[in-house]
Amino acid sequence: MVRVKLMGLLVVAALAAGCSNIGYYLQSMEGQMQILQESQSIADVIADPKTPPAVKAKLTRLLEIRDFASRELKLPDNLSYRGYADLRRQYVVWNVFAAAEFSVKPQQWCFPIAGCVGYRGYFAQADAEAFARELRNEGLDVYVSGVPAYSTLGWFNDPVLNTFVHYPEYELARLIFHELAHQVAYAENDSKFNESFAVAVELEGVRRWIAAYGDDKMRADFERSLLRRTQFTELVLRYRSELGALYRSRLAPDAMRSRKAAAFAAMKQDYQRLKTEWGGFAGYDRFINSVNNANLASVAIYHALVPQFQQMIARHNGDLAAFYGEVKRLVALNKNERTRMLAGSTQSEKLF
């Protein structure tokens, strides 16, 4: 599930913004302020007789998930995800990803304090689509994705939102664990590291939550969802690798475009075979129907290093506090050294 980070940091960054970026920073400030203004204590929302019973039930369970996150997963014990905000829209932000015509590397946007990230987020869909059009006019492959949640990395008390409150229980747990993980460790200018770390934490956390509070149905639903997600990610990363090799070749542009189109056509056929195995599950249809280099780049950000982080958890025998300590030591390295250490971690007993 694709997510934007750092909007809260942009409130501070706006003070240092240049004229060319001031409009972007202002919309970020306004969007973050709306969330803060709409946020109420979950306890107050549950006590309000106007709150629908289904929302009360979800929020009650969410508080239990939130307590579990700090107690059992050693995630930050603060006011994040102890409030609730109804934004009266489907997504909280819309992310814009972009990549060059012959590249699977995401474009980077850099901000004061926040550093560089592989996407740009907007609180209004119309603004995201307008920026996407500008990028397409420059000849870039572009992908716009609605995002149900994001983290301000502890700068603000991020609330539970109406955009995800009705998710299945295991999905709620996954999302909360993921976003809180960003408050544990964050490497500036290294989206792949940050997102892969958070995905590894969410997967470990959900399995522990289900073991403690789930039932057979929840476990089966989660495993089925995880299988689909894993198979889809493998499909995307396989074609990303193939296209990356193609783009590094010295073919003429027209021949490159023809091969590129053929690769995406083959990818869509492989996806249809997966859908058949899934009994017609169509959750990834929108992604596939608009697939291009930018889509591939967006998935790689979130999953490329997950196996390395899972191996680190195993080396610490599931001791998450020790695991976080090792991750924080990696954060202190420069990006090249951090990448080298992670790449060699499969042969190493531990990194430090």
> Per residue in 245-299, pLDDT tens?
999 998 999 999 999 999 999 999 999 999 999 999 999 999 999 999 999 988 8
Within-domain flag for 221: no
Strand 83-85 and strand 160-161: pairing? parallel
Within-domain flag for 35: yes
- As a whole-number percent, the residues of the chain with pLDDT over 70 amount to 91
Strand 160-161 and strand 40-41: pairing? unpaired
Within-domain flag for 297: no
Mean pLDDT across the stretch 182-199?
A: 92
Domain that holds residue 50: 7-189
Q: Give residue-wise pLDDT tens across range 147-189.
A: 999 888 888 999 999 999 999 999 999 999 999 999 999 998 8
Report pTM.
0.88
How many beta carbons lie within 10 A of that of residue 282, not counting itself?
A: 9
Within-domain flag for 117: yes
Q: Which residues pair with 151 in a beta bridge?
A: 5
CA distance 14 to 21: 8
Within-domain flag for 72: yes
Q: Is 20 exposed, middle or buried (0-12, 13-18, 19+ CB in 10 A)?
A: exposed
Output DSSP code: residue 146: E
Within-domain flag for 211: no
What letter represents residue 14's amino acid? Answer: A
The count of structural domains within the chain is: 1
Pair of tokens at residue 73:
């997963």
More confident residue, 142 or 303: 142
Do the Cβ atoms of 130 and 87 come closer than 8 Å?
no
pLDDT at 54: 95
Within-domain flag for 92: yes
Phi, psi for 343 (deg, rounded to 5): -65, -35
Do the Cβ atoms of 92 and 123 come closer than 8 Å?
yes
Within-domain flag for 163: yes
Which residues touch 192 (CB under 8 Å, ≥6 apart)? 300, 301, 304, 305
Pair of tokens at residue 306:
């997950």
Which residues touch 297 (CB under 8 Å, ≥6 apart)? 97, 99, 104, 105, 106, 118, 240
- Residue 86 pLDDT level (bands cut at 50, 70, 90): very high
Mean pLDDT across the stretch 132-152?
A: 95
Q: What is the mean pLDDT of the chain?
A: 90
- Residue 5 pLDDT level (bands cut at 50, 70, 90): very low
Q: Residue 238 in 3-state DSSP?
A: helix
More confident residue, 9 or 241: 241
Q: Which residues pair with 85 in a beta bridge?
A: 161
